[in-house]
Structure 1
Amino acid sequence: MDVEALRTFVAVAEAGQFQAAADEFGVSQQAVSKRIAALERHIEVKLLVRTSRGSRLSLDGQVFLTHAKKILAAVAQAEQAVRPGSRPLRVDVLNRRISPAQAVYRFYRSHPEMDLDAVTLSTENAAQAARAVLDGTVDASFRALPADQIPAGISAERVLDAPLELLVGPDHPLADAPRVSPAQLTGHRIWIPGIRPGTEWAAFYRALSEAFGLSIDALGPNFGDEALMDALADSASLATLVGTGDRYLWTQAHDLRRIPLHDPTPVYPHVLLFRSGDQHPVLTALRDHLRVSGPPTPHDVWEPDRAGC
């Protein structure tokens, strides 16, 4: 059913004049007549009866008018629901502990009037996340996707570089170091549970291992962040890597140490993926916020050759 024909019918019914409806829609009286005639053919009843003074509703037209108004109200609600800014911005933050989620949270704290929803997708790699953005499951996603792998219809902006830090327990040989270089990690076991083959973070850590001869693994079950903190606190040899800005919690008795890496500083490049041309005002505000609020980029950055845009 033609929505414009419905709107025209309601306008004629309320005004009682074809010309009044023509003036309202900025079309000719003939165009109004054609719309009404097409609607009547579609539903196979006469809706309007012409008189010397204009037009009036037939009995069928009186019944139909009530339903036509309800249909137009539903159409207006549907249009409003998807108009930019009319619904929350849905952002895939990967993991609620790491820096993208924390950056989105800080944005929300500084812009509480903005309506957004931070989610974590069940997708396991950047390509799947990009497809989720394309099909509208989410509006944006933080991923480390190389420029040559960004699909058509997706825009990407590198908005957050997360320098890596070493996280160790108090008995680890490097626990008291103010800073360490990647070369100093050679021979130490670095455990990052939850690395999944085929993900962009698996590729990042593999490249890091190969570049500096490191031993990075995800062996054993992943019982969550709390179990990882317990394991680090109890071990004199185990270490893990976290990003600057990641928010991990542990008890004071654990006495864990976060030690910056330098010479060079490995950074994980978080790229924001979003649909090209998306005019959602919260997306625009979030991008503006991320451009100026991220941690400073170290002068001695290391990253894989094809990690980001």
Structure 2
Amino acid sequence: MDLDTVRTFVAAADAGQFQEAAAELAVTQQAVSKRIAALERTLGVRLFTRTPRGAELTIDGQAFLPHARELLRVAERAVASVGTGRRPLRVDVIASRGAATGLMRGFHRAHPEIDLDVVMLFDIETAVAALRSGTIDASFRAVAAPGRPLPEDIESVRVLDEPLQLLTGPGHALAGARSVPLARLAGHRIWMPGIVPGTEWAAYYDDLVAEFGLTIEATGPNFGSDALLDTVADTPALATFMGEHTSLVWPAGLGLRRIPVTGPTPVYPHSLLWHRDNPHPALAILRDHLATTTAGHAAAGTWTPGWVLPR
């Protein structure tokens, strides 16, 4: 059913005259007559009776009028649901406890008027495909892994360099240190079962191992952060890396220690990705917010892999 004919029918029913409906719709009276005739053919009934006073609804026209109004309301709601700026800004944060989630919580506090949909996509290929299709508006990633440049239509800006910390249990040899030089970690077992081959964080830790001679073990099933914390707390030979902004809470009885790593400090580079043709007005607001609220990157005394985009 053509919504223009339905809109014309409602306008004529409200005005009581085709001429006034034509003026309201900014079309000719002939166009109004043609639209009404087309709608009558679609429905198979007469909707109006011509009288000296104008056009009066038939019984069928009176029955159809409330449904016609509802059709137009539904159409307006459908358009509003996808209109630029009317739908929520959809942002991929990868994981619920990572630094990107903290950045988006800060954005939400600063701009509570902007509706948000926060999603979690695992790998960068899925995220890029979602950006290109419009399924999401932005994604936080470390870009770009070796041999996997971003497509030309995907823009990125580096928004946060997150220092890594060493997490140990109370019995670990380094548990009492106030900070740990990176070179001193050589020979210690660092357990990170969440590293998945092919991801950008796997590429990051591969380069960290190669550069500083570390031992990172990704063996065993990944039962989640709670199991990781319990194992590190109970196993003096194991430690793990954790981002400074990773949000984790554990019972005081575990005795876990978060120890800064220095000389240099390895930092994980978080970038915001988006499609260059994305028109959502809140996307620019998010970029401006991140530019003004996050620290700079490539600071002296820090390390990132050579493939990380500097911008």
Per the shorter chain, which TM-score range?
0.7 to 0.9
* Closer, same or farther: CA 128–56 of 1 in aligned 2, 3 Å: same
Q: CA RMSD in A?
A: 2.7
**In 1, distance between residues paired with 2:296 and 2:240?**
22
Identity %: 51
Question: Matched residue of 2:263: which SS?
Answer: coil
Q: Which moved more, 1:200-209 or 1:154-163?
A: 154-163
| Contact residue 180 and residue 261 of structure 1 kept, 8 A | yes
Question: Matched residue of 1:261: which SS?
Answer: strand
Instruction: State the shift of 1:45 in Å.
Output: 3.5
| Contact residue 144 and residue 269 of structure 1 kept, 8 A | yes
| Contact residue 100 and residue 160 of structure 1 kept, 8 A | no
| Contact residue 179 and residue 260 of structure 1 kept, 8 A | yes
User: 2:269 is matched with which residue?
Assistant: 269
Residues 93-136 of structure 1, C-alpha deviation per residue, up to 9 Å, x if partnerless? 21121111122123333444443243334xx3111122234445
Stretches of structure 2 that go unaligned for 5 or more consecutive residues are none
* Closer, same or farther: CA 20–181 of 1 in aligned 2, 3 Å: farther
* Closer, same or farther: CA 151–56 of 1 in aligned 2, 3 Å: farther
User: 1:227 is matched with which residue?
Assistant: 227
Question: Matched residue of 2:267: which SS?
Answer: strand
Question: Matched residue of 2:180: which SS?
Answer: coil
- How many residues are treated as equivalent by the alignment? 307
Alignment of 1:6-85 (within 5 A): 6-85=6-85
Instruction: State the shift of 1:15 in Å.
Output: 0.4
1:128 pairs, out of 118, 126, 136, with 126
User: 1:259 is matched with which residue?
Assistant: 259
User: 1:140 is matched with which residue?
Assistant: 138
User: 2:210 is matched with which residue?
Assistant: 210
* Closer, same or farther: CA 43–141 of 1 in aligned 2, 3 Å: same
Give the TM-score, by structure 1 length: 0.85
| Contact residue 115 and residue 282 of structure 1 kept, 8 A | no
Residues 51-82 of structure 1, C-alpha deviation per residue, up to 9 Å, x if partnerless? 44432223332222222111111111212222
Instruction: State the shift of 1:137 in Å.
Output: 4.3
**In 2, distance between residues paired with 1:56 and 1:78?**
31
Q: Which moved more, 1:78-87 or 1:233-242?
A: 78-87
Question: Matched residue of 1:175: which SS?
Answer: coil
Give the counterpart letter for 2:91 in structure 1. V
**In 2, distance between residues paired with 1:244 and 1:252?**
19
User: 1:239 is matched with which residue?
Assistant: 239
Q: Which moved more, 1:216-225 or 1:27-36?
A: 27-36
